[in-house]
A and B are shown apart, each in its own frame.
Chain A
Protein backbone atom coordinates (compact mmCIF):
# COMPACT_ATOMS: atom_id res chain seq x y z
CA UNK A 1 0.00 0.00 0.00
CA UNK A 2 1.36 3.46 -0.89
CA UNK A 3 2.76 5.41 2.05
CA UNK A 4 3.66 8.94 2.96
CA UNK A 5 7.27 8.88 4.14
CA UNK A 6 8.66 11.39 6.62
CA UNK A 7 12.28 11.93 7.57
CA UNK A 8 13.82 12.12 10.05
CA UNK A 9 11.65 10.31 12.56
CA UNK A 10 13.18 12.32 15.39
CA UNK A 11 15.18 15.54 15.30
CA UNK A 12 16.74 17.45 18.16
CA UNK A 13 17.78 21.03 17.52
CA UNK A 14 19.04 24.03 19.43
CA UNK A 15 16.71 26.95 19.94
CA UNK A 16 17.19 29.51 17.19
CA UNK A 17 18.38 26.99 14.62
CA UNK A 18 16.69 26.32 11.33
CA UNK A 19 15.16 22.91 10.70
CA UNK A 20 13.77 21.29 7.59
CA UNK A 21 11.32 18.45 7.91
CA UNK A 22 10.95 16.29 4.85
CA UNK A 23 8.05 14.36 3.41
CA UNK A 24 7.56 12.23 0.33
CA UNK A 25 3.82 12.21 -0.44
CA UNK A 26 2.10 9.49 -2.42
CA UNK A 27 3.20 9.89 -6.02
CA UNK A 28 -0.13 10.63 -7.72
CA UNK A 29 -1.53 12.82 -4.93
CA UNK A 30 -2.05 16.49 -5.65
CA UNK A 31 -2.74 18.10 -2.26
CA UNK A 32 -0.24 18.21 0.54
CA UNK A 33 -0.60 19.18 4.19
CA UNK A 34 1.37 19.72 7.36
CA UNK A 35 -0.14 19.21 10.79
CA UNK A 36 1.47 19.29 14.22
CA UNK A 37 0.66 17.73 17.57
CA UNK A 38 2.19 19.12 20.73
CA UNK A 39 2.56 16.40 23.34
CA UNK A 40 -0.78 15.78 25.02
CA UNK A 41 -2.59 18.25 22.78
CA UNK A 42 -4.76 18.10 19.68
CA UNK A 43 -3.54 17.60 16.16
CA UNK A 44 -3.51 21.07 14.57
CA UNK A 45 -3.62 22.09 10.92
CA UNK A 46 -0.68 24.18 9.74
CA UNK A 47 -0.83 24.53 5.98
CA UNK A 48 -2.09 23.04 2.74
CA UNK A 49 -0.28 23.17 -0.59
CA UNK A 50 -1.52 22.66 -4.13
CA UNK A 51 -0.17 23.45 -7.55
CA UNK A 52 3.09 24.72 -6.10
CA UNK A 53 1.55 27.28 -3.81
CA UNK A 54 0.01 27.55 -0.38
CA UNK A 55 -3.72 26.93 -0.56
CA UNK A 56 -4.61 27.66 3.05
CA UNK A 57 -2.73 28.27 6.28
CA UNK A 58 -3.66 28.50 9.93
CA UNK A 59 -2.76 31.27 12.34
CA UNK A 60 0.00 29.02 13.69
CA UNK A 61 1.77 29.16 10.32
CA UNK A 62 3.52 32.50 10.77
CA UNK A 63 6.56 33.97 9.02
CA UNK A 64 8.85 31.50 10.77
CA UNK A 65 7.36 28.68 8.73
CA UNK A 66 7.64 27.99 5.03
CA UNK A 67 6.83 25.08 2.75
CA UNK A 68 8.30 24.02 -0.52
CA UNK A 69 8.04 21.31 -3.11
CA UNK A 70 11.61 21.48 -4.42
CA UNK A 71 11.18 18.64 -6.89
CA UNK A 72 8.51 16.25 -8.08
CA UNK A 73 8.59 14.07 -4.99
CA UNK A 74 9.57 15.96 -1.84
CA UNK A 75 7.48 18.32 0.27
CA UNK A 76 9.30 20.19 3.01
CA UNK A 77 8.44 22.26 6.06
CA UNK A 78 11.07 24.75 7.17
CA UNK A 79 11.11 26.43 10.54
CA UNK A 80 13.45 29.39 10.28
CA UNK A 81 14.38 30.02 13.90
CA UNK A 82 13.08 27.34 16.21
CA UNK A 83 11.55 28.10 19.59
CA UNK A 84 10.99 25.80 22.53
CA UNK A 85 7.27 25.83 21.80
CA UNK A 86 7.88 24.39 18.34
CA UNK A 87 8.62 21.05 20.00
CA UNK A 88 5.92 18.73 18.66
CA UNK A 89 5.19 15.83 16.37
CA UNK A 90 4.85 17.09 12.80
CA UNK A 91 2.69 15.08 10.41
CA UNK A 92 2.66 15.33 6.66
CA UNK A 93 -0.41 14.21 4.72
CA UNK A 94 -1.43 14.00 1.11
CA UNK A 95 -4.62 13.39 -0.80
CA UNK A 96 -5.59 12.98 -4.41
CA UNK A 97 -8.89 14.79 -4.19
CA UNK A 98 -9.35 17.78 -1.89
CA UNK A 99 -12.99 18.13 -1.12
CA UNK A 100 -14.18 14.61 -0.45
CA UNK A 101 -11.59 14.01 2.21
CA UNK A 102 -11.13 10.46 1.03
CA UNK A 103 -7.61 9.32 0.50
CA UNK A 104 -6.07 11.33 3.30
CA UNK A 105 -2.84 9.49 4.01
CA UNK A 106 -0.73 10.62 6.90
CA UNK A 107 2.94 9.93 7.44
CA UNK A 108 4.31 8.52 10.69
CA UNK A 109 5.51 11.92 11.78
CA UNK A 110 8.73 13.65 12.77
CA UNK A 111 9.19 14.32 16.45
CA UNK A 112 10.93 17.68 16.77
CA UNK A 113 12.57 18.49 20.07
CA UNK A 114 13.91 22.02 20.55
CA UNK A 115 16.36 22.40 23.44
Chain B
Protein backbone atom coordinates (compact mmCIF):
# COMPACT_ATOMS: atom_id res chain seq x y z
CA UNK B 1 0.00 0.00 0.00
CA UNK B 2 1.35 3.41 -0.98
CA UNK B 3 2.53 5.59 1.88
CA UNK B 4 3.49 9.25 1.50
CA UNK B 5 5.63 10.93 4.14
CA UNK B 6 6.45 14.61 4.42
CA UNK B 7 9.34 16.10 6.32
CA UNK B 8 9.46 18.35 8.25
CA UNK B 9 5.99 18.34 9.80
CA UNK B 10 6.39 22.03 10.63
CA UNK B 11 8.79 24.76 9.65
CA UNK B 12 9.14 28.38 10.72
CA UNK B 13 11.59 30.65 8.92
CA UNK B 14 12.16 34.39 8.51
CA UNK B 15 10.89 36.13 5.44
CA UNK B 16 13.22 36.05 2.44
CA UNK B 17 14.75 32.65 3.05
CA UNK B 18 14.82 29.91 0.47
CA UNK B 19 13.45 26.64 1.77
CA UNK B 20 12.92 23.03 0.80
CA UNK B 21 10.03 20.76 1.70
CA UNK B 22 10.46 17.04 1.33
CA UNK B 23 8.11 14.27 0.27
CA UNK B 24 8.79 10.55 -0.02
CA UNK B 25 6.62 7.72 -1.27
CA UNK B 26 7.02 3.98 -0.86
CA UNK B 27 5.82 2.68 -4.24
CA UNK B 28 7.62 4.20 -7.22
CA UNK B 29 4.92 3.06 -9.68
CA UNK B 30 3.22 6.45 -9.68
CA UNK B 31 1.41 8.18 -12.51
CA UNK B 32 2.12 11.69 -11.28
CA UNK B 33 2.84 13.74 -8.15
CA UNK B 34 1.22 16.99 -7.09
CA UNK B 35 1.97 19.63 -4.54
CA UNK B 36 -1.01 21.39 -2.96
CA UNK B 37 -1.39 24.30 -0.63
CA UNK B 38 -4.00 24.21 2.14
CA UNK B 39 -5.03 27.36 3.95
CA UNK B 40 -7.05 27.18 7.19
CA UNK B 41 -10.76 26.84 6.50
CA UNK B 42 -10.20 26.56 2.78
CA UNK B 43 -9.82 23.83 0.23
CA UNK B 44 -6.71 22.56 -1.47
CA UNK B 45 -5.05 24.59 -4.18
CA UNK B 46 -2.94 22.74 -6.71
CA UNK B 47 0.50 24.31 -7.04
CA UNK B 48 2.54 22.03 -9.29
CA UNK B 49 2.04 18.69 -10.99
CA UNK B 50 4.89 16.49 -12.18
CA UNK B 51 4.19 13.59 -14.50
CA UNK B 52 6.11 10.39 -13.79
CA UNK B 53 8.29 10.95 -16.86
CA UNK B 54 9.30 14.45 -15.78
CA UNK B 55 12.06 15.55 -13.42
CA UNK B 56 10.83 18.98 -12.37
CA UNK B 57 8.24 21.69 -12.78
CA UNK B 58 8.48 25.40 -12.06
CA UNK B 59 5.89 28.06 -11.36
CA UNK B 60 7.10 31.47 -10.26
CA UNK B 61 9.06 31.11 -7.03
CA UNK B 62 8.16 27.42 -6.73
CA UNK B 63 10.14 24.54 -8.13
CA UNK B 64 9.23 20.90 -7.62
CA UNK B 65 11.51 18.01 -8.46
CA UNK B 66 10.79 14.31 -8.76
CA UNK B 67 13.14 11.35 -8.40
CA UNK B 68 10.75 8.51 -9.08
CA UNK B 69 13.27 5.70 -8.66
CA UNK B 70 14.20 6.80 -5.16
CA UNK B 71 10.63 7.74 -4.27
CA UNK B 72 11.33 11.37 -3.49
CA UNK B 73 10.10 14.82 -4.38
CA UNK B 74 11.09 18.25 -3.12
CA UNK B 75 9.30 21.57 -3.24
CA UNK B 76 11.67 24.52 -3.32
CA UNK B 77 10.29 27.94 -2.38
CA UNK B 78 12.53 30.87 -3.24
CA UNK B 79 12.54 34.17 -1.40
CA UNK B 80 9.75 33.18 1.00
CA UNK B 81 7.03 35.69 1.90
CA UNK B 82 4.54 35.81 4.80
CA UNK B 83 1.79 35.02 2.27
CA UNK B 84 3.43 31.64 1.70
CA UNK B 85 2.39 30.59 5.21
CA UNK B 86 0.14 27.54 4.80
CA UNK B 87 0.21 23.77 4.93
CA UNK B 88 1.83 22.17 1.91
CA UNK B 89 0.62 18.73 0.88
CA UNK B 90 2.25 16.24 -1.42
CA UNK B 91 0.01 13.73 -3.21
CA UNK B 92 0.67 10.90 -5.64
CA UNK B 93 -1.59 9.40 -8.23
CA UNK B 94 -0.74 5.74 -8.57
CA UNK B 95 -0.49 3.95 -11.87
CA UNK B 96 -2.89 1.12 -12.65
CA UNK B 97 -2.34 -2.13 -14.53
CA UNK B 98 -3.50 -0.69 -17.86
CA UNK B 99 -0.87 2.02 -17.71
CA UNK B 100 -3.27 4.75 -16.76
CA UNK B 101 -3.68 6.39 -13.42
CA UNK B 102 -5.80 5.38 -10.48
CA UNK B 103 -8.55 7.83 -9.60
CA UNK B 104 -7.65 8.58 -6.04
CA UNK B 105 -4.72 10.60 -4.79
CA UNK B 106 -2.64 9.44 -1.81
CA UNK B 107 -1.67 12.37 0.35
CA UNK B 108 1.07 13.02 2.85
CA UNK B 109 0.28 14.62 6.17
CA UNK B 110 1.73 17.95 5.09
CA UNK B 111 4.31 20.48 6.18
CA UNK B 112 2.91 23.39 8.17
CA UNK B 113 4.94 26.40 7.06
CA UNK B 114 5.14 29.73 8.86
CA UNK B 115 7.03 32.61 7.31
CA UNK B 116 7.87 35.24 9.91
CA UNK B 117 7.66 38.87 8.71
Contact = CB atoms under 8 A, between A and B. Distances in A.
Contacts of B100: 99
Contacts of A107: 43
Given A58-B104, A101-B49, A101-B93, A43 B44 contact: yes
Interface in A38-64: 41-45, 48, 55-56, 58
B43 A42 contact: no
Given A4-B43, A101-B49, A106-B43, A45 B103 contact: yes
A102 B104 contact: no
Contact of A48 (B32, B103, B107, B108): B103
A35 B106 CA distance: 10
10 contacts: A43-B89, A45-B105, A45-B106, A48-B103, A91-B44, A98-B101, A100-B51, A104-B46, A105-B43, A106-B36
Contacts of A56: 102-104
Contacts of A113: none
Interface of B: 4, 31-32, 34, 36, 41-46, 49, 51, 89, 91, 93, 100-110
A109 B51 CA distance: 27
B41 A102 contact: no
Contact of B101 (A4, A35, A99, A109): A99
B45 A45 contact: no
Contacts of B42: 108-109
